[in-house]
Structure 1
Amino acid sequence: MKKHILMITPENQEINKFRKRQFNNFTQITMPYLAGFIDETRYEINLIDEYNQDIPYYNTFDLVAITVNTPNANHCYNISELFRKRGIKVIMGGPHATLLPDEVSKHCDYIIIGEAENTWPQFLEDFYNDNPKQRYMSKDAPELNNIPIPRRDLIGKRYFTRGAVFATRGCPYNCSYCNLKQIYHNCFRKRPINELISDIKTINSKYFVFWDDNLFSDKTYAKELLLNLKRLKKKWAAQVTLKDCEDRELLNLAKSAGCIYLFVGLESFSDDTLINVNKEINKIDDYKRIIDLIHEYKIMIQAGIVFGFDTDDKLVFSRTLKICENLGIDGATISILTPLPRTPIYNKMKLEGRLITEDWSYYNGKTRVAFSPKNMSCKELYEGYMWFRKNFYSLKSFKKRMKASKTNIFYNFIINLGYKLSIR
């Protein structure tokens, strides 16, 4: 007899309201990917993404699986409680479960800690045979060959934004605010290119996004991938490091293969800040030259910008806006510094007594401040962040940035409009 499993990508109302009007919100890949491991002769699968679907709380399931990130943790605990009250078993995994397994274990029946390629199939086997363990932990770094294609057919109410895929896992850098080293095994891995291309071919939409943390980390691999990707005639975006974009051959291949924009974690325009957070791979003096080079190949720059570093003062917002306009930054993902659990910056702030709360809903980097900044108040940080968002996505700033960028004006306008609407 089949067992019925509900798989949930959670999103609390506060973040959902923030993201809803943006046009480039691609689906999270975790649950569709994990669904690919499930034997449908044994399990019936329901996949729910709270971004645009409601959780069927009153339906009957044998198992509910929830992927937990830090800002959604409390929300996930509430979801779990409602199902467990009805006698339905709940398993949790994801970043927060890996960072704080003892906390998460209090809110579920089973937990997967770390990468799930080996432990998730083992759990499914054990659960089907009524012999599951309470904890499953990834001990060795899983290889990324012969992995299943994500079950994108189970993704509801999306077309343009259901195309997420990953080619690599890991990042060679050690930024103090990033939790990649804590949630993944500390080694860089790549999928076989032929398998990856087969995966991308199954994406019905013309548009997709690489969910990698740094697609260009291995340039030899990236170039071979882009040569193969060109034949598919799709449009895509990816996250990379600015330093890796100095390679003209790589940029030419990316453009020929359909790259629309690259997400680049600039974070700050202060050398002191970058040194302070261990991101010295970014060199401020190189920003304009490399950004101009990327624009030369008609690829847009979506910059990751963070406010609230210890070197930031109240003037950082206006300074950053002026620099972005002069550089022709096409778009920006703007965040408030978030000291995620077990990261070096979290440990430092906890030791200094600067964490305001461990209510994880404050740790979303978008709507709340979770710590005491050094050179301004929490209110000043939040208001400055909101001022920057409003002004960066104003028509006035857009015109200034496009005058410098001159890149893909149509796509640029659509993406900027989505962010502008989300501010309302």
Structure 2
Amino acid sequence: MKKNILMIYPEYPATYWSLKHTLKIVNKKTLMPPLGLLTVAAMLPLDYEIKLVDINVSKLKKEDILHADLIFVSAMIVQKESFNDVVALCNALNKPVLAGGPYPSASFESITGVDYFIIGEAENLITQFIHDYENGNPSRIYRSEIKPDIKNTPVPRYDLINVKDYGSILIQSSRGCPYNCEFCDISVLFGSKPRQKTIDQFIMELNAIYDAGFSGLINIVDDNFIGNKKLCLQLLMAIRQWQISKSFPFTFLASTSIDLAAETEILDLMAECAFTQIFIGLETPDENTLISISKKQNVKYNILESVKIIQSKGLEVLAGFIIGFDTDTEDIFNRQIKFIQESGIAVAMVGLMLVLPGTRLYKRLEKENRILHETCGCNTHMLDLNFIPSMEKEIIIQGYLKVLGTIYSPEKYFERCLTLLSRTPDRAFKKRGIRRNDVQSFIRSFFIQGFSGYGYLYIRFLIKSLMINPGNFPLAVILSVNGHHFFKITREMLKMTKLESSSVDYSDSEIVEKYELQSDNQAI
């Protein structure tokens, strides 16, 4: 029975994670496509007509909604404001809405306006929903306690998007994480035993992305890429062969745990495959805190040395840090700054603690009557906590702003970048070469950043990077372009919160003075 399906991906707000200002320099519309919707689209009957509107790329038109028989919407918690707007518009036009993804799955009991919910992973549920929908008796909620075998998951419908609109394309080889950190919802959502796709599946998906005309960064969105190390090695060997056969069209980013540093064979294969970035949740330099949140895997290793080992293989380490743990003391802000600077981690995603539904942390704080409200999902911009912290809230907020204002001052940021470049060989760029888009991005970067308020620091950084390792100059350009986003968004935050009049002492890093030097005419 033919149906017209409209899939809508809500707007992603401007945050540290969005890289909004970076994307303008590299001529991309948004950072990444909605992999969940693309995957669900591949599960629908072949005679269904499917259109996908990513609001981050193009405007949602009323005509598209009116043409559809059914609307599919997926969202993360951070997108809930746009999600609610989309649902309200569909309600006004009398179109039924099916919702799924992280936000609807966690908050379906409080969401209004949605007719049907897919709770959790769709593979075991979407076929039953379609059967019921076509027979006129769909249920409101579909969920399953059984985790699906993702070896049966089809290749996502990358043909539904223009891949060239995106800064990276998402792909997945596994779901689940063997660790169970107190604050994290991954093991709750996807289980603690990693489930793998086959190598053939993964290669088919690489081919689909390649055939769609994309070249550039592939973000492998596994919860922990090395969750099953034996299978990870086998997959990397296949990726290496594929990359060689296609003349290295892609570079790769993956999320792993810190024990990657002890896996020399995996690290070497990653470098040979043109992996350029690794994201690791480091959270805090405080060992007692790591133990208290059950992140014991980080305690087993010397974190700074582990980061250096990974960087020495040609992989840039991106890392997540959290402020607001129960065990944090008032020296944590300076300790985080010191650790981040020494690590050479240029992209340090520092956020306030969010207590997510379903986590062990949520259950503990709920028992202690410390949950205040549902989280907004944005732990970098919404300067609020959804729980009662151990430390005074205002001290946490102001200390958090101090960390951001320091590490994303141009001087401190470029200092970390030089540390990274001094440790990192130029393997990846030797494999993929310099491409036209790289040159165009550098030209735009030079005219935008070179004539900005921090232009002197930018030029000095590029010159020093050439002196350290000329082969890594493309990486230096990427780092400087990313820095443009971090500088602008930090400056916006500091102005928004009127940090200049804060009673907190920021004299160590002269945050306000540094940002006041930046010109207001940075239009991009």
TM-score (norm 2): 0.74
Question: What is the 5 A alignment of 1:225-240?
Answer: 225-231=235-241, 232=243, 233=248, 234-240=250-256
> In the alignment, what sits opposite 2:488?
421
Amino acid at match of 1:70: I
The separation in 2 between residues aligned to 1:5 and 1:115, in whole angstroms, is 19
Gaps of 5+ in 2: 24-29, 425-474, 493-524
Question: What is the 5 A alignment of 1:133-282?
Answer: 133-156=139-162, 158-203=164-209, 204-231=214-241, 232=243, 233=248, 234-282=250-298
The separation in 2 between residues aligned to 1:131 and 1:194, in whole angstroms, is 37
Kindly indicate whether residue 126 of structure 2 is the aligned counterpart of residue 110 of structure 1.
no
> In the alignment, what sits opposite 1:315?
331
Contact 1:163/1:205 (CA < 8 Å) preserved in 2?
Answer: no
- Of 375, 379, 382 in structure 2, the residue corresponding to residue 365 of structure 1 is 379
The separation in 1 between residues aligned to 2:37 and 2:16, in whole angstroms, is 18
> In the alignment, what sits opposite 1:404?
419
The separation in 2 between residues aligned to 1:277 and 1:164, in whole angstroms, is 29
CA shift digits 1:376-399 (9 cap, x unpaired): 32x332333233223212222133
> In the alignment, what sits opposite 2:522?
none
TM-superposed deviation, 1:303? 0.8
TM-superposed deviation, 1:185? 4.1
- Of 315, 327, 331 in structure 1, the residue corresponding to residue 343 of structure 2 is 327
TM-superposed deviation, 1:126? 2.9
Kindly indicate whether residue 363 of structure 2 is the aligned counterpart of residue 347 of structure 1.
yes
Larger Rg: 1 or 2? 2
- Alpha carbons of structure 1 residues 319 and 403: separation in structure 2 relative to 1, 3 Å: same
TM-superposed deviation, 1:257? 0.3
CA shift digits 1:104-151 (9 cap, x unpaired): 4x4311111121112112222332343322221123221112422112
Contact 1:3/1:62 (CA < 8 Å) preserved in 2?
Answer: yes
Using the TM superposition, name which of 191-200 and 381-390 deviates more.
381-390
CA shift digits 1:262-308 (9 cap, x unpaired): 00100111011111111111027511221111111111000111111
> In the alignment, what sits opposite 1:300?
316
Q: Which has the higher helix share?
A: 2
CA shift digits 1:54-79 (9 cap, x unpaired): 32245312111112433434543342
> In the alignment, what sits opposite 2:21?
21
Using the TM superposition, name which of 400-409 and 263-272 deviates more.
400-409
SS in 2 for 1:281: helix
The separation in 1 between residues aligned to 2:168 and 2:159, in whole angstroms, is 9
> In the alignment, what sits opposite 2:83?
76
Using the TM superposition, name which of 49-58 and 166-175 deviates more.
49-58
The separation in 1 between residues aligned to 2:193 and 2:296, in whole angstroms, is 20
- Alpha carbons of structure 1 residues 22 and 354: separation in structure 2 relative to 1, 3 Å: farther
Amino acid at match of 1:249: E
Matched positions, count: 419
The separation in 2 between residues aligned to 1:301 and 1:13, in whole angstroms, is 24
Gaps of 5+ in 1: none
The separation in 1 between residues aligned to 2:133 and 2:402, in whole angstroms, is 50
The separation in 2 between residues aligned to 1:263 and 1:17, in whole angstroms, is 12
Using the TM superposition, name which of 129-138 and 107-116 deviates more.
129-138
Contact 1:20/1:51 (CA < 8 Å) preserved in 2?
Answer: no
Contact 2:18/2:31 (CA < 8 Å) preserved in 1?
Answer: no
TM-superposed deviation, 1:330? 2.8
The Cα RMSD (Å) is 2.4
Amino acid at match of 1:56: K
Using the TM superposition, name which of 403-412 and 256-265 deviates more.
403-412
TM-score (norm 1): 0.91
Amino acid at match of 1:230: R
